[in-house]
Structure 1
Amino acid sequence: VRGDTAAANGIWQVVLSAGARDVVAMCALLVVAISVDWVWTLIAVAGAPLLLGPVLVLQKLVRRTTTRAREASAGISTRLDEIFHGINTLKLNTAEMLERNRFSGAMSRYLKQEMRARLAQAGIPAMTDLVAAIGFAGVLVYGGNQIIDGEKTVGEFMSFFTAMGLLFEPLRRVANVSGAWQAARASLERVHDIFRVKATILTPMPVAAAPIAPSEADIVFDDVVVTYGSESALRGASFTARAGDTTALVGASGAGKSTIFNVLTRLVDPTSGEISVGGVRTSDMSLSELRSLYSVVTQDAPMFDDTLGDNIVLNTPGADDARMQETLRAAHLADFVATLPKGLETRVGPRGSLLSGGQRQRVAIARALLRNAPILLLDEATSALDAESEARVQEALDELSVGRTTLVIAHRLSTIRRADKIVVMEAGKVVDEGRHDELLARGGVYARLYDLQFADS
């Protein structure tokens, strides 16, 4: 997008300044040529209609090849980003040469498309030069014979060719602008394609509604179906997460746990069925109203290349110092921040690269604490941590979940034994629910998953 906008932005200056100036100059010189001899002028420009067909073809070719070149360039940028973030994986798998060959292939495809675009763009002024040269040759033959016959003077001939010669250079520049404009149009169309994308999540007009208190924040799924094309992610899922309780979602990979979070927050809308929070259907709330109900802590704990403090107050700007300090203590971050020379003004690097995994998770927990929403959504935040970091993060999570409706995606069943309810999912359906001991006693899907995880012990 950045390259497309830069290409589109640059063409306006050329069109509005050089292009406009050259068109005015051409018109003035054409008037001079007509005043010398209108027949010679007609001969000189007689080939212009012949340009129309080839130029239209070349313009379409410029747009098509430029679009392909821009797409290839975007692919290279994406690939470079993946290489930089996965460089250690490439090294550990001795895949540097393989990746180098792949990248060289991508560069070759880009250069091939770029060369085609440049050649097509250069073809427009080349065609203009050819037709102009043929017209000049016609005038030279016809006018030369008139001079020999004494019908015209050498002075008139020189005046005409001086005017046409001066006209030739702005004509070439206008032809160049035409080619550049077609390339810019290709970039503009790619940018416009982004703006043409319609929102798939429609939000209703905001209505005045009383805020949902933590004690009223029940979550109810009623026969919810979610399909992506021909694939069904949820197949009539129904369950209730009671206000103030911790409800865990368990199931094998692909069971539909993440889809539950996505439809609850309306990152996607259900194909059918209803979801309500605090007795209000989520489809009746504005997106901002709905999402303000949630504090979210995910596995990846996304960070931005900003200060530690700005990452914490991301969704709660204007938090005072006292509240910030209280949040740091509750998230078990206060001691860590105290060791930093710049404290909360310390930059965390791209994607939080200057922080450890446990530190990033605690920053995400501090962010959720500061938001103080009635519902807590956890995509098990401790699954990728070492034992010491996990203990600290778990303490912070316990502090965070007090008095809140908590919905947990559980990957390790040992972390949700104390949950008030465990919802067991399989192939997009809720197949069982209950407490840990009850589910084990029933010997269903949950018991099988539990046995698989703890077979060694």
Structure 2
Amino acid sequence: MVIEAATLGAFSYLIQPMFDDVFIAGNQGQIVFIAVALALVFFARGLARLAHQSVITWQSEAATADLQTMLLAHLTKLDQGFFMLNAPGILIERVRGDSAALRKVFGSLITGLGRDGASVIVLFGVALWTDWQWTLIALLGLPLLGLPLLAIQRMIRRRSTESRLAAAESSNRLNEAFHGIATLQLTGSEAREVGRFAKIKRNFVRKATRAAIGKSAVPTLMDFGAAIGLALVLIYGGSQIIEGTRTVGQFMSFFTALGLLFDPLRRITALTAEWQSIIASLERTYALLQVQSKVTNPPPPHLPVPDRNHASVELRNVRFSYDTEPVLNDLSFFAPAGKTTAIVGPSGAGKTTVFGLLTRLADVDSGEVLIGGQDVRRMDLAALRKLFAVVSQDTALFNETIRDNIVMGVKGVSDAALQSALNAAHVDDFLPLLSNGVETLAGPRGSSLSGGQRQRVAIARALLRDAPILLLDEATSALDAKSEAFVQDALDRLAAGRTTLVIAHRLSTVRNADQIVVMDRGRVVEQGSHDALLDKGGAYARLYALQFGEQDQEQDQANSP
């Protein structure tokens, strides 16, 4: 960058002998020297620009990638409450869009301050060397720009922040549209969704345009200052040339240096506007990095995690809310080790929240969550989560091979262990139908597999974890009868010998549970076996009647031993 700036000074300096010695004095011996010197200046400038652009691009891309990786690593440690308040599309924009400001720091700020700053110093030196009075006259218009520049910079920062918020809203709308594309098509809502997106984009365009106009106003003001300075120099210096006290070569050298000087000076001034935009994005990035998880690893010494034979689950007087919305209200129940406990109740009763508290995806507001009689908040977080294997209705698969989706989170898996999990989960039943067997890509969000196949992959993953506690959240509710039979058989194998908690709306799937906990409005309203709860005629019996009808209920009771 310094070499590139020096070439500008050399070029403007060579203008004087070119005019005075060659064009006016007619010195033939200087023609070749001046021509070669000017050519070398441009060769050096081109090579210096290539070198500095290569280095700056590598540094800016590497720094941006590192920052995005740091943001993702930070976000993956935050609790579920944060993700309930921040949509995925907005977070994607904050990780990718806002962090891209770091690329501008290298591409614009460092390059501008380095190359253009050096250029200003070199060219200013040439101008002073040529005539210091002309230089001072040329700069007379610049002090008038101070207050307008400050006002514009404040406006740019505000508009840039608004623009980044609008960009995040746009990304979130796209994310929701693509994830729900089937629903949009089936309901004929494509035009409605496109209209909503167009409205968001119009808002973004309006805010981005305002920010861009503010940035453009800064170099425009510099042009106004330059116009005043150059006009004054032309009047004053032209008179001296006419009088013979200055040469044409001196004026052309000064005019060239000054003309070249205002260009980097304009870019440096524009950098102050660009810096306001960069600051707006970096402030949002910094704010994201300052978000602290409400779920943290406790300081040592940690309580030991229980083995499989003692992995009981208990909630004591638990209260929990998302933001200000209460979810659990004085919830208490006990699930014995090695037994199956079903949790049933109407939607919104807080059933899934229980699983989040057990695994410390969130922490209770008050009360205790105990595993093996020990408070989960005093256990090592990683060791606690290794106690659980989870199979849910919405199985999370990634666009990796089926093998990678199954072994994730488990190190050193042998081929024999993997094959055993594939067999037990009935995954090997459909592997021959796939192009590359277990090495087949599952597709984005597991889209290459059917619902039943995704569930079996999730069960194989849970089998491979061999965790003492199994959490099943509506694991078969979205499956057809044939797929459900396969999955239910795999789940039965998986639950054997483990403490199992089952969330189910279909009560037929929990009849054989050792105990059933009935929840409503965040608390336990009934607890007991299937038959005992039916005999009681309370909330569970009413739920059962809604699903099967009174006749089926009476027949079931008559057939009960």
**So what's the TM-score if we normalise by structure 2?**
0.77
Deviation, structure 1 residue 63? 2.6
Counterpart in 1 of 2:294?
Answer: 200
In terms of Rg, which structure is larger?
A: 2
Amino acid paired to 1:41: T
1:397 is aligned, of 485, 491, 499, to 491
Counterpart in 2 of 1:57?
Answer: 151
2:546 is the alignment partner of 1:448? no
1:112 is aligned, of 206, 223, 237, to 206
* Alpha carbons 1:248, 1:410 under 8 Å: kept: yes
Deviation, structure 1 residue 353? 0.4
* Alpha carbons 2:305, 2:379 under 8 Å: kept: no
- 3-state DSSP class of the match of 1:334? coil
Query: How far apart in 2 are the matches of 1:173 and 1:420?
Result: 75
* Alpha carbons 2:369, 2:375 under 8 Å: kept: yes
- 3-state DSSP class of the match of 2:457? helix
Deviation, structure 1 residue 142? 4.4
* Alpha carbons 2:303, 2:374 under 8 Å: kept: no
The structure richer in helix per residue is 2
2:386 is the alignment partner of 1:287? no
Query: What are the superposed Cα offsets for residues 152-205 of structure 1, whole Å, 9 maximum, x if unpaired?
Result: 535455443333222122212323333333333333223222211111112113
2:533 is the alignment partner of 1:439? yes
Q: Where do residues 82-93 of structure 1 align in structure 2 (5 Å cutoff)?
A: 82-93=176-187
Counterpart in 2 of 1:224?
Answer: 318
**Bigger Cα displacement from structure 2, 54-63 vs 242-251:** 54-63
**Bigger Cα displacement from structure 2, 421-430 vs 302-311:** 421-430
**Bigger Cα displacement from structure 2, 128-137 vs 155-164:** 155-164
2:315 is the alignment partner of 1:315? no
2:169 is the alignment partner of 1:75? yes
- 3-state DSSP class of the match of 2:349? coil
2:506 is aligned, of 412, 419, 433, to 412
Query: How far apart in 1 are the matches of 2:373 and 2:244?
Result: 98
Query: How far apart in 2 are the matches of 1:372 and 1:408?
Result: 17
- 3-state DSSP class of the match of 2:330? strand
2:272 is the alignment partner of 1:173? no
Counterpart in 2 of 1:244?
Answer: 338
* Alpha carbons 1:307, 1:348 under 8 Å: kept: yes
Deviation, structure 1 residue 114? 1.9
Deviation, structure 1 residue 144? 4.9
Query: How far apart in 1 are the matches of 2:105 and 2:149?
Result: 19
Indicate the RMSD between aligned Cα atoms, in angstroms.
2.1
Q: Where do residues 133-212 of structure 1 align in structure 2 (5 Å cutoff)?
A: 133-144=227-238, 152-155=245-248, 157-207=251-301, 210-212=304-306
Deviation, structure 1 residue 349? 0.5
Query: How far apart in 1 are the matches of 2:119 and 2:449?
Result: 62
2:433 is the alignment partner of 1:339? yes
Deviation, structure 1 residue 326? 0.9
Query: How far apart in 1 are the matches of 2:289 and 2:149?
Result: 30
- 3-state DSSP class of the match of 2:326? strand
Matched pairs, number? 456
Counterpart in 1 of 2:215?
Answer: 121
1:363 is aligned, of 450, 457, 467, to 457
Query: How far apart in 2 are the matches of 1:381 and 1:78?
Result: 28
- 3-state DSSP class of the match of 2:178? helix
**Structure 2 residue ranges without an equivalent (≥5):** 1-94, 553-561
**Bigger Cα displacement from structure 2, 317-326 vs 178-187:** 178-187
2:390 is the alignment partner of 1:296? yes
* Alpha carbons 2:119, 2:264 under 8 Å: kept: yes
Q: 1:74 to 1:231 in 2, by over 3 A?
A: closer
Counterpart in 2 of 1:429?
Answer: 523
1:383 is aligned, of 459, 468, 477, to 477
* Alpha carbons 1:143, 1:152 under 8 Å: kept: no
Query: How far apart in 2 are the matches of 1:117 and 1:286?
Result: 48
Amino acid paired to 1:42: L
2:189 is the alignment partner of 1:95? yes
1:213 is aligned, of 307, 310, 329, to 307
Counterpart in 1 of 2:353?
Answer: 259
Query: What are the superposed Cα offsets for residues 29-87 of structure 1, whole Å, 9 maximum, x if unpaired?
Result: 22333344434333322333332322222223223322322332232222223222322
Query: How far apart in 2 are the matches of 1:303 and 1:27?
Result: 58
* Alpha carbons 1:11, 1:180 under 8 Å: kept: no
**Structure 1 residue ranges without an equivalent (≥5):** none
Deviation, structure 1 residue 145? 5.6
Query: What are the superposed Cα offsets for residues 234-265 of structure 1, whole Å, 9 maximum, x if unpaired?
Result: 11111111001111111111111111111111
* Alpha carbons 1:239, 1:430 under 8 Å: kept: yes
**Bigger Cα displacement from structure 2, 27-36 vs 375-384:** 27-36
Query: How far apart in 2 are the matches of 1:45 and 1:94?
Result: 64
* Alpha carbons 2:304, 2:379 under 8 Å: kept: no
Query: How far apart in 2 are the matches of 1:411 and 1:359?
Result: 21
2:468 is aligned, of 368, 374, 380, to 374
Deviation, structure 1 residue 277? 0.4
**So what's the TM-score if we normalise by structure 1?**
0.94
Query: How far apart in 1 are the matches of 2:403 and 2:439?
Result: 6
**Bigger Cα displacement from structure 2, 428-437 vs 86-95:** 86-95
- 3-state DSSP class of the match of 2:195? helix
Amino acid paired to 1:334: D
Query: How far apart in 1 are the matches of 2:303 and 2:376?
Result: 13
Query: How far apart in 1 are the matches of 2:427 and 2:229?
Result: 80
* Alpha carbons 2:390, 2:470 under 8 Å: kept: yes
* Alpha carbons 2:305, 2:384 under 8 Å: kept: no
* Alpha carbons 1:312, 1:364 under 8 Å: kept: yes
Query: How far apart in 2 are the matches of 1:418 and 1:206?
Result: 41
- 3-state DSSP class of the match of 1:225? strand
Query: How far apart in 1 are the matches of 2:219 and 2:549?
Result: 75
**Bigger Cα displacement from structure 2, 256-265 vs 53-62:** 53-62
- Name the % identity: 51
Deviation, structure 1 residue 105? 1.4
Query: How far apart in 2 are the matches of 1:162 and 1:328?
Result: 76
* Alpha carbons 2:303, 2:380 under 8 Å: kept: no
Query: What are the superposed Cα offsets for residues 125-169 of structure 1, whole Å, 9 maximum, x if unpaired?
Result: 111111121222233344456667x59535455443333222122
2:100 is the alignment partner of 1:6? yes
- 3-state DSSP class of the match of 2:97? helix
Query: How far apart in 2 are the matches of 1:162 and 1:335?
Result: 79
**Bigger Cα displacement from structure 2, 251-260 vs 441-450:** 441-450
Q: 1:208 to 1:222 in 2, by over 3 A?
A: closer
* Alpha carbons 1:44, 1:135 under 8 Å: kept: yes
Deviation, structure 1 residue 209? 5.4
